[in-house]
Structure 1
Amino acid sequence: MQIGKYQVNLVDAGRFRLDGGAMFGVVPRVLWEKKKPADEFNRIEMATMLLLLQSEGKNILIDTGLGNKLNQKLMNIYGVDQSQHNLAGGLAKLHLSSEDITDVILTHLHFDHVGGATSYDESGKLQPTFPNATYYVHKMQYDWAITPSEKDKASYIQDNFVPLREKGQLTLLEDELEIFPDITLIPLHGHTQGMLGILIKGEHQNLFYAADLIPTSAHISIPWIMSYDLYPMTTLEEKQQYLELASEQDWWVFFEHDPEIYCGKITRTEKGFVLKESIIMD
């Protein structure tokens, strides 16, 4: 897909599973299971779909997935499956290595978004996975991740991001801004403090990387939000705002955690916002 000056490439970094009740909050299982069937442990399948943007010598990666540092206990709890798809393999399909990545935008620092940002070298020492890249995250999110709440501290594994700061490769951002031409980073605060939504702008079409504001296509309905969200009423307001913009301006919306529909366009009906067009996995 071409959006303006950027060639937009999909990077499939693998699958995992999360509790369906947690993913849909107050929505009854009899409703959400029609869209996302649960396994025997009440978990639904989740993807870690990333984007790689290319333009004028830049290789810009958005998020890094789970990575390969989780211990076996967590691998089992979250049903992690990277046998068919993983970060390194996804980049290799684009004829890229970790050394080729110039920039990494981290929407936030939950382990399923930043796990691939660091990795162990041959001596067993943690290093930034992308040695030539500048990593970006919102300062509010970094500060929160260093001292998280009791509710969400399990979502933050400091080995995923502290080494980036120690190596001088992490840039902390503030406010809404464009660090690259035609890419606007939008701070969102419902899911967690300082998460970044990413709007990639072109002359004829735009793409909105919604991160965990709209993690799957099943979360388009305004009240279908996750119990993981720290500030659910803020999530509702942010979803309303950006779904209206997506509908009115005919944006593509990218669903980072959907294993089937990774991108779609939204329209508003009498019953609320729905998909009018979608791009499905091959």
Structure 2
Amino acid sequence: MPHPDRTIIALEECHFGLDGGAMFGIIPRPLWAKTNPPDEANRIAMSARCLLIIDPDRVTLVDTGMGVGFSEKEREIYNIHRQDAGLRAALRQYSLTPEDVDDVILTHLHFDHAGGLRTPNEDGSLRPTFPNARHWVQRQNWSWAHSPSARDGGSYRLQDFDLFDADDAPPLHLVDGIAELFEGVEVLPVHGHTFGMQVVKIDAADQTYAFVADLIPTAAHLRDPYVMGYDLQPLKTVEEKRELLYHARRDDWILIFEHDPTTAMARIDVDARGRVIPVPLKTLSHT
């Protein structure tokens, strides 16, 4: 496995909250509340985590966070706080700016993953956050996002991604199925959460990583029945999760959780009862 000079870094665009019942579907509150205690509005704490991949010749970002396109009422509903819009402060730690990003891989176009595609100018108008980047999304998700079902229509906000309709928009590449976008960076489509979501698999040095997006949003969602109420095809999610976890345990992958507020990365093990459990990593950066 090549790429000895590749660095993998977990970044946080913001913290926010979503209803715990919706996040855990059929799992009763007394069970999920043990690992994800809710606030007075029944919201659990969540992270909008993005992934930075630094190569000698390329800077890649996976997902963009919530962004700034929310009213004050919506920001209160979703408890958006500790926000680093555009990831400017996080990127600055690595001597980078949003303009230095060469590629943006979008796992899917839900607002908490693609909302950060735009950032405000001084006059309040919005511009592309990563103007020099190629943007990658599954063709099936691009199509679904423009005509979602009544059930998931609220998760797709056209204003987050209609920037690509402009003449001066950054380039958009629609991906059809499994693909290696560039050496050692592969996308694996899954369809349980929404149609055309993609897990991003990254090889770096002697380690494989998987940015699992909403297939396994937090470390508490590893077990089979822990599936979000938001998922369009929950049984498909279970099937896809089992397959990914089989490879992760067999081949010692590190999973990167997009929404877990405390566990960014973990290896996978099983407990004495044969249940899948995370083995969290303490560091957020790997070379």
- 1:18–1:277 Cα change, 3 Å: closer
Checking the alignment, whether the CA contact within 8 Å between 2:85 and 2:119 is kept in structure 1 is no
- Residue of structure 2 in register with 1:275 after alignment: 278
- Aligned pairs for 1:107-186 (under 5 A) are 107-166=107-166, 167-186=169-188
State the one-letter code of the partner of 1:179.
L
- Aligned pairs for 1:243-254 (under 5 A) are 243-254=245-256
Checking the alignment, whether the CA contact within 8 Å between 2:136 and 2:173 is kept in structure 1 is yes
- Residue of structure 1 in register with 2:92 after alignment: 92
The CA deviation at 1:277 is 4.2
- 1:60–1:97 Cα change, 3 Å: same
How far apart, CA to CA, are the structure 1 residues paired with 2:109 and 2:270? Answer: 32
How far apart, CA to CA, are the structure 2 residues paired with 1:128 and 1:109? Answer: 15
How far apart, CA to CA, are the structure 1 residues paired with 2:148 and 2:8? Answer: 33
How far apart, CA to CA, are the structure 2 residues paired with 1:5 and 1:273? Answer: 32
Point out 4+ residue stretches in structure 1 off by more than 6 angstroms. Answer: none
How far apart, CA to CA, are the structure 2 residues paired with 1:74 and 1:95? Answer: 33
Checking the alignment, whether the CA contact within 8 Å between 1:3 and 1:205 is kept in structure 2 is no
The CA deviation at 1:9 is 1.5
How far apart, CA to CA, are the structure 2 residues paired with 1:3 and 1:76? Answer: 42
- 1:29–1:10 Cα change, 3 Å: same
SS for the counterpart of 1:212 is coil
What CA RMSD, in Å, does the superposition of the two structures yield over aligned residues?
1.9
The farther-off stretch of 122-131 and 23-32 is 122-131
- Aligned pairs for 1:180-195 (under 5 A) are 180-195=182-197
Checking the alignment, whether the CA contact within 8 Å between 1:138 and 1:174 is kept in structure 2 is yes
How far apart, CA to CA, are the structure 2 residues paired with 1:3 and 1:29? Answer: 43
The CA deviation at 1:84 is 7.2
- Residue of structure 1 in register with 2:219 after alignment: 217
- 1:170–1:204 Cα change, 3 Å: same
Gaps of 5+ in 1: none
Checking the alignment, whether the CA contact within 8 Å between 1:22 and 1:227 is kept in structure 2 is yes
How far apart, CA to CA, are the structure 2 residues paired with 1:250 and 1:31? Answer: 28
How far apart, CA to CA, are the structure 1 residues paired with 2:86 and 2:124? Answer: 20
How far apart, CA to CA, are the structure 2 residues paired with 1:10 and 1:203? Answer: 17
The CA deviation at 1:256 is 0.7
- Residue of structure 2 in register with 1:258 after alignment: 260
SS for the counterpart of 2:122 is coil
How far apart, CA to CA, are the structure 2 residues paired with 1:54 and 1:146? Answer: 32
- 1:95–1:280 Cα change, 3 Å: closer
State the one-letter code of the partner of 1:216.
T
State the one-letter code of the partner of 2:243.
Q
The CA deviation at 1:115 is 0.7
Checking the alignment, whether the CA contact within 8 Å between 2:105 and 2:135 is kept in structure 1 is yes
Gaps of 5+ in 2: none
Number of residue pairs aligned between Structure 1 and Structure 2: 281
SS for the counterpart of 1:234 is helix
- 1:203–1:53 Cα change, 3 Å: closer
